[in-house]
Amino acid sequence: MIHIGQLDLEKRAAVVAVILEKPLEASRKAAEMGADLLEIRLDLLGIRNLETAAETIQKVKSETGLPVILTNRSVTEGGKWEGKEDDRIELLTNLLSTNLLSLKDGPDAVDIELSAGREERDQVIKAARAYGKTVIISSHNFSKTPALQEMKTILEEAFLAGADIAKLAVMPQSRRDVLDLLRVALDAREAGNAVCTIAMGKLGRHTRVIAPFYGSVLTYSAVDSEVSAAPGQFKVDELKKIMELLE
* Mean pLDDT estimate for the chain: 93
Domain that includes residue 219, residue range: 11-246
| Cα distance between residue 176 and residue 135, in whole Å | 30
The number of domains in the chain is 1
- Give residue-wise pLDDT tens across range 41-95: 999 999 999 999 999 999 999 999 999 999 999 999 999 998 899 999 999 999 9
Contact 239, 209 (CB under 8 A): yes
pLDDT at 224: 82
**Structural domain contains residue 169:** yes
**CA-CA distance, 227 to 230, in Å (whole number)?**
9
pLDDT digits (tens, 9 = 90+) for 100-143: 666 677 999 999 999 999 999 999 999 999 999 999 999 999 99
Q: Catalytic amino acids?
A: 140, 167
Q: Would 223 be classed as within a structural domain?
A: yes
CATH number at residue 93: 3.20.20.70
Domain membership flag for residue 2? no
What pLDDT, on a 0 to 100 scale, did the predictor assign at position 231?
Answer: 64
pTM: 0.95
Range with the poorest average pLDDT among 26-40, 113-127, 188-202, 216-230: 216-230
- Per the domain annotation, does 1 fall within a domain? no
Name which of 186, 192, 148 is nearest 170 in CA terms: 148
HSE-CB at 144 with a 13 A cutoff on CA atoms is: 5
